[in-house]
Homo-oligomer: A and B are copies of this chain.
């Protein structure tokens, strides 16, 4: 029982000498009524500063006009472009975008999704850290699309970094490297499993020795901290889970006086920082913005009842820059 923020449909109806239904239709189904009626209503509405109440419409239609996106960490540079893409697509489809940050915590993620579910038309879950069971439970209640998480039967957009990573391994092999190390990221990340597996598979195929060290979180500092282990592995090149880790690695290598790429090669992934680093980082492209856009499009089309292929995979490729060279 509070005051309405602006004029209501009834006031416009009264002022325009028509019924509420007519005003309603002028806004949502103008083709149902005379053009001049529409024009008249619109003019009166504009004069009064009327804006349809989103909430009331949502209650009446059962559609919230809102989708949510939840990510593990907004501050991680991989996500902003993705969110931006999602935002643009949502906007274009007439939806508002609710944002959630789970802080890499599956429990928080679960709570967030539970909170969003009843107030949105659908949810985009990016790099989910929840169990498959939790995800399926939520998906049963509300349209859900996954990004970088592969749960069969659910709509999902997957950035196929594995292919790019395989290319990275081949590139290193061609350069003459015989032993490389994979610096892994978040253990519960699908992307991390994919990349680790891709490194191993390609390494085996090419007869390379591959070690692994675990950075757990994807941060600059984590990269710095792994350098001892990386160097200790005896490898001559490292492939990092992502650019952030690679950046830390590069910095720590520099302070140790190890020249990149001539004494050690480094490859990142995602291409979110790579171009602005020095030396510019060789990395695997990821197109996060496209993924965000695709996810929302998938979601929206599923709401419209359209039946898109529920599994969209985005290609990646190796981007050569300045951090790889033959081993010393």
Interface residues of A (CB under 8 A from B): 1-6, 51-56, 58-66, 73-75, 77, 79-81, 83-84, 87-88, 96-101, 114-119, 141-142, 220, 247-248, 250-251, 254, 275-276, 278
Contacts and interface: CB of A to CB of B under 8 A. Distances in A.
Contacts of A56: 59
A62 B2 contact: yes
A310 B12 CA distance: 35
B1 A61 contact: yes
A43 to B, nearest CB: 18
A75 B64 contact: no
Given A55-B58, A59-B59, A115-B96, A247 B220 contact: no
A51 B114 contact: yes
A62 B96 contact: no
Q: Identify the 8 closest CB pairs spanning chains A and B, nearest first.
A: A2-B62, A54-B119, A99-B99, A74-B80, A220-B276, A55-B58, A75-B80, A55-B59
A254 B100 CA distance: 39
Contacts of A114: 51
Nearest to A251: B278
Contacts of A60: 1
B118 A54 contact: yes
Given A5-B117, A5-B142, A118-B51, A99 B75 contact: no
A161 B191 CA distance: 39
A52 B118 CA distance: 8
Nearest to A96: B98
A115 to B, nearest CB: 7
Contact of A119 (B1, B55, B247): B55
A252 to B, nearest CB: 11
Given A59-B55, A59-B59, A247-B276, A116 B96 contact: yes
